[in-house]
Amino acid sequence: MGRAISKSLLNSGHRVILADRNADAVRELAAEMGNAAMALPFDVTDKTAVDGIVESLPADWRPVDILINNAGHDIGGRTRFDEGSPDDWSGIIETNLIGLMRVTRALLPEMVRRDTGDIVNMSSISALRIVPDMAAYTTSKAGVRAFTDVLRGELAETGIRVTEILPGLTRTNIIRTRYRGDTTKEKAYFDAYKMALDPADVARCILFALSQPRSVQIAQLVVLPLNRW
């Protein structure tokens, strides 16, 4: 998902800071994208790294105009809550919700000072519709939804737009990582649903929100595969 979003932003004329905990992968992607992209290896669960994110950027890459909060996982998910690992559950919340809030807190003050900017939070259809055996992931995304709504209210008198994107099943590596690299389980999962969004579909939704006049705010955008409801 991050790759598709980054390339869409680049193709629409933006410079892109690529943040990811996989240092090799993010540097490789930045090299592919050229001088308009910068690799920033860091983990959103690393408090020190997140709190120092602005200071870690070269002066000519500041300020940040658009924040896309896309980091997330479901490692250990699709397991009944009482049978799952407490460490798995807390890890999902730490990345999907707390990490998102920390990164936003680190970058938001400068947006407020300039009275402009965009924050796009990647939520999920799971924030709206419960699915058994996904307690931690659903809780994390419901938290993202609530946080995004509150943040939008707090910033209503500023020039900062806050958008929540709620995709349905998307063909990314989140299912493979959920099953810790088991590609057989990944294939069976996608096959069961027959249809999934492509990451580029979600990226187009983000660009749609960002391309609106500054007086227009796309608060929430739900996007689903055709065969879902």
Per-residue pLDDT of the chain (229 residues; tens, 9 = 90+): 999 999 999 999 999 999 999 999 999 999 999 999 999 999 999 999 999 999 999 999 999 999 999 999 999 999 999 999 999 999 999 999 999 999 999 999 999 999 999 999 999 999 999 989 999 999 999 999 999 999 999 999 999 999 999 999 999 999 999 999 999 999 999 999 999 999 999 999 999 999 999 999 999 999 999 999 8
Cβ(103)–Cβ(95) below 8 Å: no
User: Is 206 buried (19+), middle (13-18) or exposed (0-12) by CB count in 10 A?
Assistant: buried
Give the tokens for residue 40: 């920033």
Q: What count of residues does the chain have?
A: 229
How many Å apart are CA 226 and CA 229, to the nearest integer?
8
Name the CA dihedral angle for 105, 106, 108, 111, rounded to a multiple of 10 degrees: 170
CB 137 within 8 A of CB 129: no
Nearest to 64 by CA among 3, 12, 16: 16
Fill in the amino acid letter for 157. Answer: E
Gap between the Cα atoms of 87 and 79, Å rounded:
13
Residues 6+ apart with CB under 8 A from 71: 2, 19, 20, 21, 44, 95, 96, 99, 100, 103
Q: Active site includes 189?
A: no
Contacts of 192 (CB under 8 A, 6+ apart): none
Among 137, 179, 189, 193, which one carries the catalytic annotation?
137
Fold of 62-223: Rossmann fold (3.40.50)
CA–centroid distance for 82 within its chain: 27
Name 68's bridge partners. 120
Q: Looking at residue 229, what is its pLDDT?
A: 86
CA distances from 76 to 85, 105, 167, 196, 225 (A): 7, 28, 20, 21, 24
